[in-house]
Structure 1
Amino acid sequence: MRIEARLRDSVRRFAAKTALVVGDHHLTYAELDAFSDRLAHSLISQGVQHGDRVLMLLENGTEAVVSFFGIWKAGAVACPLHPSTKADKLAAIIDSTDARVLITQARHRNTAGAAVEKAISKPLLVVAQGEDSGVQCFEDMMTGAPDAPLPVFHDCDELALLIHTSGSTGLPKGVMLSHVNIDAACTAIARYLKNSADDVVLSVLPLSHGYGITQMVTMASVGGTLVLEKSFAFPRKAMERLAEVKATGFPLVPAMAAMINGMTDLPPGSFPHLRYVTSAAAAMPPTFIQRLQQLLPQTELFIMYGQTECLRATYLPPDELERRPLSVGKAIPGTRAFVVDEDGLPVPPGVVGELVIEGPHVMRGYWGDGLATVRAFQPTTQGQRLRTGDLFSMDEDGFLYFISRSDDIIKTRGEKVSPQEVERALYALPGIKEAAVGGIDDPIFGQTIRAYVVLCEGAMLSERDIIRHCAGVLEDFMVPKSVEFRDALPRTPTGKIRLSADKTRSTEQGNVA
């Protein structure tokens, strides 16, 4: 089913129910439907045609959600971008997508305007929350009653989303996702999370990335309520909001879990309405899992792994967490995920290979990059098979375990070391708040291991303390040779800790610690 059809179906069933909450502003399903209808009519009247690309440089809020559905109702392609995107990169994306419209907010007006000036393509600039007479006003596009019904589109294989990721080279790559891709992924997610119209999901995840977008689509599809916050910059306020709205679902990333775990005054059972928590986008150390389980004894914790190229790939049922705390589970319903060797053949349990994904959620390819698209897929007679580029192993019961990204493996003293294994050891040392591990070029050993750590407030750990701890729990070739203390570690917009955040791939992994 097309995504705008999912919204229309929920409107028929839950017209008066609250669909979206942003601050003190509430939108019912009927209101969200009406506003997105008006935007679709305005876009069409401004020359947007079937299949055109519409860029969105928007923070989490009403404008973003209305824009997604308005763009889809107009038969166009939504291209969400993180609001921190700079003018040069934005200009390059405008030209590569030949964008017809760019929707932004007043606070990003200068960046958007500079990008349009630099770009060869000249999209219509639409600005929300502003009083700029020189551009189209978003709010004006919401006024007036449409004088004709909108066209109804039926082709579910049509492109719905272009999500831009930096890729391993740092250059933007547009992941092409069809309505089928999104619907298949979100239907599977809603199935294992048991989402229903009774759910209230509070999300601080940016709507420019797959993890955030799936929260919006799943809630719209089941008739639930999405409560949007702009960020997790003020954790205490966000947790108060979680209790205030009686959220039943809370998607997070491990960086958020670290902040929550630091709130030592939060008593267990503080959120009795919270039915589940999900984690993706980065490694979830077992110590974080244990603390969350203590704080939320009646809440189910779902560890997940995915990539923008398929939105979600695997999940671990909460009742398996105790037995398999390092696993990311099995393939989401209706799909396949398995480990292969260099020839594309399945490997035995315990053998490390590349994870490949099959199913209707697998992307159509990369926008304007046929070579990258060919490299992303493995030839097979079984259907579209996505090569993740990530190293995994599988146990005897078919549960999957993340080892490392293939380009993150550290080669030292003739051995291969997974940074995740070393990081897991670091997180087990009390006093370490955040940790990352990288390889440093060495003329003798090839590479040596360096740990980058952020200490908890008041912690008094030295480099010697940390190395001694690692030596007690790791094989000698895995022990860091040096430790660098930092006030903070670099992050991508989705919250992943990456030592080279500007070279982040599009992986969204779950319990890869």
Structure 2
Amino acid sequence: MRIEQYLEDSTSRDGAKTAIVAGDMRLSYDRFLDLASRMATTLRSRGVGRGDRVLILLDNGWQAAVAVFATWIAGAVICPVNPATKTVRLSQIARDCRPTLAIVEGRLEARVKEVAELASLPRLVTGDAGSFDAGVEALPFASENLPDTDLAALIYTSGSTGEPKGVMLAHDNIDAAARSITAYLENDASDTIVVVLPMSFGYGLNQLVTAMLTGATLVIEKSFAFPQAIFERIRDERVTGFPLVPAMAAMMLQARDLDPSLFASLHYVTSAAAPLPLAHLDGLRALLPHVSLYCMYGQTECTRATFLPPAEIDARRGSVGIAIPGTRAEVVDAAAEPVAPGTVGELVISGPHVMRGYWQNEAATRRALRPDPRTGALRLHTGDLFTADADGYLTFVARTDDIIKSRGEKVAPQAVEDVLCRMPGIAEALVVGVPHEVLGQAVKAIIVASDAALTEREVLRFCAQNLEDHMVPKTVEFRDTLPRTDTGKASRRLAANTTGSTA
């Protein structure tokens, strides 16, 4: 099924029901569909057609939700980008996906104009009259019989080189993932789900998709910058589902005098994006004993891969569970053959939720999607190391590359190093991830300075000016030389073994 059909079907069932709550704005399903359909007309009038990419650079809010569904109703492909994205990366994404139109947060218009690939592009800007409530007729729904094999989304992620890669998800991929996730979470129209995660990423976007599939209410918050306000919103809106990442769990558990009654309405909490430390898991269970807690693992390339049934938490300490319904997860060796229980290998994922590949990147696609030697069917090679027990329950071990996950987002060390090495006074730089009680991992820079007067404060200020917030190192260590292998290559593994944690 195409994803925009979710909105049509849920509206047909109960159009008066609240679909979206964002700040003071409350949209019924009728109103949400009307706004999305009218905006789809506007998109078509601006030249957007089937298969065209629409770059969406919006904060979490009702406008972002409308823009996503309007793009799908118009038959086009969403390319959501985090508003915090710096100009260089935004330029890379625009150059790669070649959007037909951009939908932009008003405060970001100046930045967009700095990007050559976007400067002359048609744009809809929030705050402009008519952008989201145009005086135009709604585009007739399903005016074309478009297949669910059409591309629905390009979601950009960074590989080990730091270059953005566009994950191609078709409507049928997203549909398969959404139906599987709502099945094990037992979502229905009685749910109210809060999303504070950026809807420009898979985990956040999935909350919008699953809410519209089930006819639930979605409460959209811009961020988790003010946790107490989010907790009060959970209480006031009687939220039943709360997706979070480990950093958010840590902030919750460190809050002073946190009133458990704020969470009385919650039925479930999900955790993804990075492994949830056992201490945080135990702390959440103690704080929220009435709530079902789902530890999960996934990648943008398949939305979700595994979940641990709450009843198994005690018996499967540290596990991220089994494959989500309708899919398959296996641990394989270098020859792509299954390994024995307890043996470390790479996790591979099979199922209808797996991406089509990376946009215009055949080499990366071939590395990620490889044939099963037994059946020939393509499987997603996650690049992450796992073990599986005799019952198939999976436990994350380590990454096969050096990607750092901080605040639930991926950081490519090479991208940070490239910026550091542009700074006068730095001769060499190496970036590693170190354990952090709140962030999960913190970015640490190890520097060989050519200027003895260079300070940590100066390095961090330079990084803040040139990197996205989650990529900025938390600490800087100055050394005379970088740790190296026997071949003379700078080694992150050796560096990680000689650095401590940070809090």
Q: One fold, TM greater than 0.5? A: yes
Deviation at 1:281, TM superposition (A): 0.8
Structure 1: runs of 5 or more not aligned: 132-136, 411-418, 452-479, 487-513
- What residue number does 2:415 align with? none
State percent identity of aligned pairs. Answer: 47
Q: What's the CA shift string for 1:131-150, capped at 9, x where partnerless?
A: 7xxxxx514x6323348666
- Give the Cα–Cα distance (whole angstroms) in 1 for the partners of residues 484 and 19 of structure 2: 59
- What residue number does 2:154 align with? 162
Q: Is the 8 A contact 2:297 2:306 kept in 1?
A: yes
Deviation at 1:95, TM superposition (A): 2.5
- Give the Cα–Cα distance (whole angstroms) in 1 for the partners of residues 328 and 395 of structure 2: 15
- What residue number does 1:16 align with? 16
Structure 2: runs of 5 or more not aligned: 405-431, 447-481
Q: Amino acid of the residue matched to residue 378 of structure 2?
A: Q
**RMSD of aligned residue pairs (Cα, Å):** 2.5
Q: Given the alignment of the two structures, is residue 327 of structure 1 paired with residue 319 of structure 2, yes or no?
A: yes
- What residue number does 2:26 align with? 26
Structure 1 residues 120, 288: CA separation in 2 closer, same or farther (over 3 Å shift)? closer
Q: Is the 8 A contact 2:2 2:148 kept in 1?
A: yes
- Counterparts of 1:349-388 in structure 2, within 5 Å, are 349-380=341-372, 381-388=375-382
Q: Is the 8 A contact 2:39 2:138 kept in 1?
A: no
- What residue number does 2:117 align with? 119
Residue 161 of structure 1 aligns to a residue in which SS? strand
- Counterparts of 1:69-468 in structure 2, within 5 Å, are 69-115=69-115, 118-119=116-117, 122-130=120-128, 138-139=131-132, 142-146=134-138, 151-380=143-372, 381-408=375-402, 423=435, 442=483
- Give the Cα–Cα distance (whole angstroms) in 2 for the partners of residues 94 and 103 of structure 1: 13
- Give the Cα–Cα distance (whole angstroms) in 1 for the partners of residues 119 and 403 of structure 2: 41
Q: What's the CA shift string for 1:31-50, capped at 9, x where partnerless?
A: 11101100111111121111
Deviation at 1:434, TM superposition (A): 5.8
Q: Is the 8 A contact 2:112 2:118 kept in 1?
A: no
- What residue number does 2:414 align with? none
Q: Is the 8 A contact 2:483 2:494 kept in 1?
A: no
Deviation at 1:63, TM superposition (A): 1.0
Deviation at 1:409, TM superposition (A): 10
- Give the Cα–Cα distance (whole angstroms) in 2 for the partners of residues 326 and 94 of structure 1: 39
Deviation at 1:382, TM superposition (A): 5.0
Structure 1 residues 395, 153: CA separation in 2 closer, same or farther (over 3 Å shift)? same
- Give the Cα–Cα distance (whole angstroms) in 2 for the partners of residues 448 and 363 of structure 1: 31
- Counterparts of 1:472-487 in structure 2, within 5 Å, are 481-483=498-500, 485=502
- What residue number does 2:424 align with? none
Deviation at 1:482, TM superposition (A): 4.3
Structure 1 residues 45, 239: CA separation in 2 closer, same or farther (over 3 Å shift)? same
Q: What's the CA shift string for 1:391-446, capped at 9, x where partnerless?
A: 01101111001001102499xxxxxxxx99x95xx86xxxx886559898645897
Q: Amino acid of the residue matched to residue 355 of structure 1?
A: L
Deviation at 1:112, TM superposition (A): 1.4
Residue 263 of structure 2 aligns to a residue in which SS? coil
- Give the Cα–Cα distance (whole angstroms) in 2 for the partners of residues 272 and 49 of structure 1: 46
- Give the Cα–Cα distance (whole angstroms) in 2 for the partners of residues 64 and 45 of structure 1: 20
Q: Amino acid of the residue matched to residue 29 of structure 2?
A: Y
Q: Given the alignment of the two structures, is residue 60 of structure 1 paired with residue 60 of structure 2, yes or no?
A: yes
Q: Is the 8 A contact 1:94 1:119 kept in 2?
A: yes
Q: Is the 8 A contact 2:345 2:387 kept in 1?
A: yes
